[in-house]
Chains A and B, each alone.
Chain A
Amino acid sequence: GAVVSQHPSRVICKSGTSVKIECRSLDFQATTMFWYRQFPKQSLMLMATSNEGSKATYEQGVEKDKFLINHASLTLSTLTVTSAHPEDSSFYICSARVQGSYEQYFGPGTRLTVT
């Protein structure tokens, strides 16, 4: 089956610093990647949709200057949390979709803790 990886799986950073999270599709080319955020005991909230080679589309209420998304290739998308604050602490999950397919393949998630 299709595999999506994320790196790192866990990261702790200090308030005010930036953190980059990578999402890779390992055995397929993902025309579209999605970034979600999940707070404890809550469901996944879509943050943004990125298509390879174009700018990401952000959901309402998500600051595009704070959450920088780059989808440079068909197998890699990155999410950079800039000037992180404790309230950014969350579980960040990416997913990838092949054009024309109904299914999204989820990465294992990245647990971000901002101290």
Chain B
Amino acid sequence: GQNIDQPTEMTATEGAIVQINCTYQTSGFNGLFWYQQHAGEAPTFLSYNVLDGLEEKGRFSSFLSRSKGYSYLLLKELQMKDSASYLCAVRNQGGKLIFGQGTELSVKP
């Protein structure tokens, strides 16, 4: 089967760093995506990893270990506007995006 696990909820403080983990088991692997989704809106693209290692883009970084079936999204210098749901998604062998349930991040002052 195909399974993507991430924590349901996380809380962090403004200005801090938070790491959201994602583990996956899918039929084939053709890349891992992280999306941000605010309530009632469509997901917006944050990052893409297909090779092992860290990809950095401003305040956001994403890490992938294919051998461990593991990724994380790192958010630095948290801002209130970062409160949102963060979706981990894996593109499987068939080219389809399989989404995790999402992690609801609450940033508090």
**Are A44 and B87 within 8 A (Cβ)?**
yes
- Contact (A106, B102) CB under 8 Å given A44-B87, A46-B96: no
Name A's interface SS. Answer: strand
Interface size class of B (residues with CB under 8 A): 20 to 34
**Are A108 and B91 within 8 A (Cβ)?**
no
Q: Which of B35-43, B51-59, B74-82 contacts A (4 or more CB under 8 A)?
A: B35-43
B99 proximity list for chain A (CB < 8 A): 43-45
B8 (CB) vs chain A CBs: closest residue: A41
**Are B96 and A107 within 8 A (Cβ)?**
no
Give residues in A with beta carbon < 8 Å to B: 34, 41-46, 49, 91, 93, 95, 102-109, 111
Q: A43-B99, A109-B42 are in contact. List 15 more A-B contacts (CB 8 A).
A: A34-B97, A43-B102, A44-B87, A44-B97, A44-B99, A46-B97, A46-B98, A91-B40, A95-B97, A102-B31, A104-B97, A106-B35, A106-B44, A109-B40, A111-B40
